[in-house]
Amino acid sequence: MSLSMVLFKSMEQEQVMGAKKVWESVKYYAVRCAKCSKWRLIPTKEKYEEIRARIGEELFLCETAREWRPDISCEDEADVKQDDNFLWAMDRPRIPQTPPGWQRILRIRAEGGKKFADVYYVAPSNKRFRSMVELSRYIDEHPEYQGVSLSQFSFQSPVPLDEKYVAKRQACSSTRDSTGALEAKTSEVEAHAQN
């Protein structure tokens, strides 16, 4: 199973949905090939979410990108290299694909915060949600969303791959190493981030 799903982040992008502005921190989405370990840019957020939701059952390979780049292979150069031009973060595995008409929005917080990013969901009505409690209440009160299940949402924040984004307080599932950097004990994703 490949857990090398990555969000490629920049703080400069704005997204407009209807009359309401919803700020999105993610500028590019990239996934690492399970065979050659090269990063491949994903053309849309929707395609990225589709790949991310299936990553437990289906490895991402360069050949997968032939859907939007017919001649791509592991022999080609990487689309992008991890460097200081962007802030990189790894999405957690098994986050479900956002229901049709809804948006999953990620907003990066300032360096050194307790949390790397905030996760919001935006309903087709442009109503924004910051928690599962808000979302549950809204779905219960709006019968037009009866087919939408809470299992289709996740407010888990991505894992930063930049040492500058270290939490101020120690999380209960974390420990500090000798340099003071935060290390997650339970996240499979961080183990793959170091590869």
Q: Which residue stretches of the chain have pLDDT < 50?
A: 1-5, 10-20, 22, 167, 169-195
Q: Are 50 and 24 in contact (CB under 8 A)?
A: no
Please report which helix (H) or strand (E) contains residue 48, including its range: helix 45-54
- Alpha helices by DSSP H, listed for the chain, are 45-54, 132-141, 188-193
pLDDT at res. 120 = 93
**Total tally of structural domains belonging to the chain:** 1
Question: Quick check: helix, strand or coil at residue 8?
Answer: strand
pLDDT at res. 174 = 42
- Residue 183 is part of a domain; what is its CATH number? 3.30.890.10
DSSP state for residue 144 in the 8-state scheme: G
Domain residue limits at 156: 5-193
Maximal CA-CA distance, the chain: 53
Q: Whole-angstrom distance between the N-terminal and C-terminal Cα of the chain?
A: 14
Give the pLDDT confidence of 51-98 residue by residue, as tens digits.
988 887 888 999 999 999 999 999 999 998 877 677 788 887 778 899
pLDDT at res. 1 = 35
